[in-house]
Structure 1
Amino acid sequence: MNEDPVAAPPTGVTLVGDIGGTNARFALWRDERPQAVQVLACADYARPEQAVLDYLQRTGVPVSAVSAVCLACAGPVGAADFRFTNNHWTINRQAFCAELGLRHLLLVNDFTTMAWAASRLGPEHLVQVRPGIAQPDRARLIIGPGTGLGVGALLPLEAGRWAVLPCEGGHVDLPVTSERDFLLWQALRERHGHVSAERVLCGSGLQTLYELSCALDGTPPRATRAEDVGALALAGDAQADAVLEHFFHWLARVAGNAVLTLGALGGVYVTGGIVPRFLERFQRSGFAEAFAARGKTSGAYLAEVPVWVMTAEHPGLYGAGIALEQALARHA
């Protein structure tokens, strides 16, 4: 898929990427925004270098023109080789830079880039789904179910600057707050052992939740993929709709817990590949109520926390560009 193709400058091209478990999105970063966006399937390439080279060939940019790359990667980023959590790729920094002739390579957690995007996205890229009052001097939470469950935080600094706190909050224990939760949790534990939030709050988790719910209710399943569950729910299928509602409730509980942990009274930004796809249904769901429906103290703490859904088409690329700007400025 091509968007907004641009003529490449002769030197100093910066490239940004947002790599998840299923797709790799690439763009040229120019004029403070991603341009010439393309989405490539990770399964089509043995190595990420091959995907980058194919992207450059498709956009007509010579490899020699690229001076800096920032890749948003789904998984924890450290000093060692990066191994993606939900696909087969590995990035060795030295080998990657050598093959592409790079001077600068920045690897950041994919939800780090979502947090950077939240620092600049305007109201045209946000839909408010829970009213409240954002406290400007407090942290913001970014959370989003997609291939996995991503969680990150944006921390305010002096003079309007921000710092991003990467984390692996998708792997916290799944909260159990009702009898129905407990029955589903038991079935999940029998299937997987440890039951993390990500076991439910992702694409494959939605399908799993549907299968287990059908089994509990004695209802023959009609869907074999997460997208089919969503389609059935939107078409009025009562079982699928109840599962989608439960999915949104569990997301509310996990998000609320994360706000309590981080003190994220600056608000919550929901992103990822699932919620924006079902935005109208999400707005009608019990998410806003479930978010703060808890004990006297914690419920009051969460009562005024606003929640938005990020509707920018490629927020990960946008955030990767901002992260790259910040890194290059520090080395200037």
Structure 2
Amino acid sequence: MQGGAVSTIDRGPRLLADVGGTNARFTIETSERGYAAVAVLACDQYPSLGSAIAAYLGSAEVRALDVGPVRHAAIAIANPVDGDQVSMTNHHWSFSTSALRTELDMSTLLVVNDFTALAMALPHLLPSQRTRIGGGVELAGRTIGLIGPGTGLGVSGIVPAGGGRWIALDSEGGHVTFAPANADEAKILAFLWDKLGHVSAERLLSGSGLETILLALSGRSLGAAEITERAQAGSCAECARAVACFCAVLGTIAGNVALTLGATGGVYIGGGIVPRLGGLFTGSAFRARFEDKGRLSPYMARIPTYLITAAYPAFVGISAMLSEQTAHQ
């Protein structure tokens, strides 16, 4: 289990899921922040989300919990969630929330954007579950921003609502228009203009985006994992250049999020890519580019940035949102 089992979940065990374009993470929450039978399933191994959930619930690890039927579930998914029908942008899964609830025989099925769920986890992170990048001091009870590159680029934030409550923002900020800040980035933009027309931040700040950066700057085609490995090993200068560019662009876009939201409570970096970069990220131009906002640079220098290091932080947020929903049923 992860986290402290400090109180019993009302109405029985709950299924929590964090579904990305590549992997789907599942757990059974048996007590508050008590996550059992955590499993990561490859999305491309299952024809549908329903089949992946059924496989998880039928696994030996879940059966061994012997917690009885699971009737309440919450899914954080890497996709806009607007209405009953969900069709993933970065994967082929498509489903009706109401039909999936019936298929799984659930009393409650909450489906929300994955970065909305991750944003709701931010106030609950322990000091050991985040790493500060650069300076700044967070202001209590102020808006907090969130950005994270993975299969796509997630953006969200939370706004204080009084009484210790927070409201998460549904955002597709990863699709804002990319603007270059130097000659290398102008070269990448020109490369993508010819192919795409509109170039969003996600076209650079994602797994495929890192591959695009390398291709545009050097003409070389490698997978994101190999680019990272070679850059970390110091065996490929072109890969190191691509990762450095990636981190710098992330700093600029994270700074845009901070300015747009007035995120004086801090800006957090999530997603699956940045934690794997290690010293390539902490030693990069990320923070300098975050602060580089001309006349607003002194304002930016006061806003702290944090890398989320918790293993499954979205579970915390989606659990809080499910508790709020079931409390009103």
Fold in common (TM above 0.5): yes
Name stretches of at least 5 consecutive residues in structure 1 with no aligned partner: 216-220
Distance 2:140 2:293 in 1: 25
Alignment-mate amino acid for residue 327 of structure 1: Q
- Secondary structure at the residue paired with 1:288? helix
* Contact persistence 1:63–1:100 (CA under 8 A): no
Q: Does 1:287 align with 2:286?
A: yes
Q: 1:111-156 CA deviation, whole Å, 9 max, x = no partner?
A: 0111111120110100111221111132101110000000010111
Alignment-mate amino acid for residue 103 of structure 1: S
Correspondence for 1:138 among 129, 139, 142: 142
Q: Which residue number in structure 2 is paired with residue 14 of structure 1? A: 14
Distance 1:144 1:229 in 2: 19
Q: Does 1:73 align with 2:77?
A: yes
Q: Does 1:179 align with 2:183?
A: yes
Q: Which residue number in structure 2 is paired with residue 312 of structure 1? A: 310
Distance 2:260 2:57 in 1: 42
Q: 1:166-217 CA deviation, whole Å, 9 max, x = no partner?
A: 20000000122222221210101112221000000000110111111103xx
Alignment-mate amino acid for residue 153 of structure 1: G
Q: Does 1:104 align with 2:108?
A: yes
Distance 1:207 1:317 in 2: 29
- Counterparts of 1:248-267 in structure 2, within 5 Å, are 248-267=247-266
Q: 1:224-265 CA deviation, whole Å, 9 max, x = no partner?
A: 200010011011122111111110010010010111111111
Name stretches of at least 5 consecutive residues in structure 2 with no aligned partner: none
- Give the deviation of 1:12 after TM superposition: 2.5
- Give the deviation of 1:317 after TM superposition: 2.1
Distance 2:14 2:200 in 1: 37
Distance 1:51 1:13 in 2: 19
- Secondary structure at the residue paired with 1:66? coil
Alignment-mate amino acid for residue 42 of structure 2: A
Alignment-mate amino acid for residue 22 of structure 1: T
TM-score, normalization: structure 2?
A: 0.92
Q: Which residue number in structure 1 is paired with residue 319 of structure 2? A: 321
- Counterparts of 1:95-174 in structure 2, within 5 Å, are 95-174=99-178
- Give the deviation of 1:276 after TM superposition: 0.5
Distance 1:63 1:127 in 2: 36
Which deviates further from its counterpart, 17-26 or 316-325?
Answer: 316-325
Q: Does 1:50 align with 2:51?
A: yes
Q: Which residue number in structure 1 is paired with residue 246 of structure 2? A: 247
Q: Does 1:197 align with 2:196?
A: no
Alignment-mate amino acid for residue 12 of structure 1: G
Alignment-mate amino acid for residue 258 of structure 2: V
Distance 2:262 2:226 in 1: 37
- Secondary structure at the residue paired with 1:27? strand
Alignment-mate amino acid for residue 150 of structure 2: G
Q: Which residue number in structure 2 is paired with residue 218 of structure 1? A: none
Alignment-mate amino acid for residue 212 of structure 1: A
- Secondary structure at the residue paired with 1:82? strand
Structure 1 runs, 4 residues or longer, greater than 4 Å off: 61-64
* Contact persistence 2:12–2:30 (CA under 8 A): no
Q: 1:93-119 CA deviation, whole Å, 9 max, x = no partner?
A: 221111111111100100011111112
Q: 1:16-45 CA deviation, whole Å, 9 max, x = no partner?
A: 000010111110112222221001111111
Q: Which residue number in structure 1 is paired with residue 328 of structure 2? A: 330
- Secondary structure at the residue paired with 1:138? coil
Cα distance, 1:322–1:279 mapped onto 2, change above 3 Å = farther
Distance 1:21 1:208 in 2: 18
Distance 1:187 1:103 in 2: 50
